Amino acid sequence: MSAEPLTAVPPAVHRPPVRDMALMAVGVLAVATSGPIIAATAAPALAIAFWRNAFGTGVLLPVALARHWRELRGLGRREWRLAFAAGALLAAHFATWTPSLGMTSVASATALVTATPLWNGLIARAQG
C-alpha cells in the first residue's frame, strides 16, 4: 500500500492582514469607549445621536461612492427603500440608546443594546 503525498490544504482560518487587525482594533476601541464618553457629555442626547450618524455618514459615504458607484447605481427602488429603512432604524437605535445612558448605568444600557442577536432571532423566526 503506497501512501499518497498529502497536498497542502490552506487553513480555514488564517490571521488577517496587519492593516485589517489595526482597523478592527480602532473599531473595538471606538465602540468600547462610546458609552462612557456619551454618558459624560453635557450635550443633549438627540444632538449626540444626530451628530454621531452625520459624522459616520460623512466618513463612509465618500468611500462607498468611490468604491461601489456602479453597484449603487444598479440598486432598484426596493433596495433603496430597504437601505433608507435600515438608516432610519439605526437613527432610532441611537435616538433611544443615547438617552438611556443618562437614565441608567453605562453597563446596563450596553447590556440592553447588545440584545440585538435576540431580536434578530425573533424577527427571523417570525419571518419563517
Span 85-109, pLDDT tens digits: 998 988 888 888 888 888 888 888 8
Q: What is the pTM of this model?
A: 0.60
d(CA 93, CA 17): 32
Question: Which three cell numbers, joined as nine digits, stand for 71?
Answer: 453597484
Closest C-alpha among 26, 29, 42, 27 to residue 101:
42
Question: Which three cell numbers, joined as nine digits, stand for 92?
Answer: 432610532
pLDDT > 60? residue 1: no
Closest C-alpha among 25, 31, 23 to residue 97:
31
Closest C-alpha among 17, 23, 34 to residue 100:
34
